[in-house]
Amino acid sequence: MAKRVRTQAMRLLDARKIAYQSYAFPDTIRNAFMVAEEVGVPPAQVFKTLVLLREDQPASHPLLIMVPADHEVDLRHLAQIIGSKSVRMAAHDQAEKLTGLKVGGISALALLHKPFDMFLDEQAMKFEQILISGGQRGVEIQLHVADLLAVTNAQLIDATGANSA
Identify how many contiguous H helices and E strands the chain contains and give both numbers. 5, 8
The predicted pLDDT at position 1 comes to: 35
Report the candidate in 51, 64, 72, 65 with the shortest Cα–Cα distance to residue 162: 72
Burial 8-28 (b: 16+ CB within 10 A, else e): bbbebbeeeebebebbeeeee
What is d(CA 14, CA 112) in angstroms, rounded to the nearest whole number? Answer: 15
Phi-psi domain of 100 (left: phi exceeds 0; alpha: psi -120 through 50; beta: other) = left
Determine if the pTM surpasses 0.75. yes
Measure the CA dihedral 123/108/65/122, to 10°.
20
Express each pLDDT in 78-135 by its tens digit.
999 999 999 999 999 999 999 999 998 999 999 999 999 999 999 999 999 999 999 9
- The domains located in the chain, with CATH, are 8-157 (3.90.960.10)
Q: How confident is the model at residue 2 (pLDDT cuts 50, 70, 90)?
A: very low
Please measure the distance between the N-terminal and C-terminal CA atoms of the chain and give it in whole angstroms: 51
DSSP assignment letter at 86: -
